[in-house]
Chains A and B, each alone.
Chain A
Amino acid sequence: MSGDAAGLGRGRAAAFVLPALVLIGVFLVFPALWTIYLGLTDYRLTGLAAADPQVVGLDNYTTAIGDERFQGSLWLTVQFVIGSAIIGQAGLGFAIAWTMRDRRGPVRRVVEGLVLLSWILPGSVVAFLWIALLDRDGGTLNTLLGTPENAWLLDNPMLSIIVFNTWRGTAFSMMLYAAALENVPPSHLETARLAGASTFQQLRDVVLPRIKGHVLTNLLLISLWTFNDFTPFLLTAGGPEGRSEILPVYVYNVAIGDGQLGVGAAVSFLILAINLVFALAYLRLIRGRNRAEAPLQAPSGRGGG
Chain B
Amino acid sequence: MRLTRRPAKTLAALAASTLVLAACGSGGGSDDGSVTLTITANAISGGKNANGADWIKTWVIPRFEAAQKAAGRQVHVLFQPNGVDDEQYKTKMALDLKSKRGADIIDMDGIWIGEFAQAGYIKPLSETAGAAVDSWEGWTQIPQAVQGLGIFEGKKYALPVGTDGRVLYYNKALFKKAGLPAEWQPKSWQEIIDAGNALKKLPGVTPIQINAGTAMGEATTMQGALPLLAGAGAEVHTGGKWTGGGQAVKAVLGFYQQIYGSGLGDPQLQQEAKGRDKSFLEFSENKIGILAEGDYFWRSVIAPDIGVAPMADRDDVVGYAMIPARQPGGGIRGQDFVSMSGGSARVLNPFSENAAAAWELLAFMHSAEATEAELAMADEARITARTDVNDKVLADDPMLGFISEKVLPLTAYRPPLAVYPQVSTALQEATAAIVSGTSPDEAAATYQRKLEGLVGGAGNTAG
**A48 interface residue per 8 A CB criterion:** yes
Within 8 A of A (CB), among B99-140: 112, 115-116, 118-121
Q: Would you give the 0/1 interface string for B242-273, flagging 1 where the beta carbon is closer than 8 Å to chain A?
A: 00000000000000000000000000100111
Q: B115 to chain A: which residues have CB within 8 Å?
A: 46-47, 50, 259
Closest to A127 in B: B273
B238 within 8 A of A: no
Evaluate contact between A241 and B419: CB separation under 8 angstroms: no
Who on chain A is nearest to B424 by CB? A258
> Using an 8 Å CB-CB cutoff, how does the interface string of B66-104 with A read, 1 for contact, 0 for none?
000000000000000000000110110010001000000
As a 0/1 sequence over residues 403 to 430 of chain B, the CB contacts with chain A under 8 angstroms (1 = contact) are 0000000000000011101100100010
- The distance in angstroms between the C-alpha atoms of A50 and B119, with both chains bound, is 5
Q: Are B118 and A47 in contact (CB under 8 A)?
A: yes
Contact of A258 with B421 at beta-carbon distance under 8 Å, contacts A47-B115, A153-B273, A239-B215 already known: yes
CB distance from B252 to the nearest CB of A (A): 18
Name the B residues within 8 Å of A235 (CB-CB).
273
Whether A45 lies near B213 (C-beta < 8 A) is no
- 0 or 1 for each of B167-205: is its CB under 8 Å from A? (1 = yes): 000000000000000000000000000000000000000
The reply to whether B417 and A240 contact each other, CB–CB distance below 8 Å, is: no
- Among A48, A50, A136, point to the contact of B94 (Cβ < 8 A): A50
Q: Is the CB of A151 within 8 A of B432?
A: no
- Summed over the interface, the residue pairs from A and B with CB atoms below 8 Å come to a total of 84
Complex: A256 Cα to B87 Cα, angstroms:
7
Q: Which of B417, B418, B425, B429 has the most CB of A within 10 A?
A: B418
Report if B163 contacts A (CB, 8 A): no
- Asked if B274 is at the interface of the complex by the 8 Å CB criterion, the answer is yes
Give a binary string over A38-80; 1 marks a CB under 8 Å from any B CB, 0 the rest.
0000001111111100000000000000000000000000000
Q: Does B211 contact A (CB under 8 A)?
A: no
CA–CA, A136 and B429, complex, Å = 23
A240 to B115, CA, bound (A): 29
**A131 to nearest B CB, angstroms?**
7
Q: Using A47-B115, A151-B268 as known contacts, say yes or no to A257 and B425 having CB atoms under 8 A apart.
A: yes
Specify which chain B residues have a CB less than 8 angstroms from the CB of A47 in the assembled complex.
115, 118-119, 417-419
Which A residues are within 8 Å of any B CB, using their own CB? 44-51, 131, 136, 151, 153-154, 235-237, 239-242, 256-260
Binding site for A on B (CB under 8 A): 87-88, 90-91, 94, 98, 112, 115-116, 118-121, 213-215, 268, 271-274, 417-419, 421-422, 425, 429, 432-433, 436
Q: A45-B94, A46-B115 are in contact. List 6 more A-B contacts (CB 8 A).
A: A239-B271, A256-B91, A257-B425, A258-B422, A259-B421, A260-B422
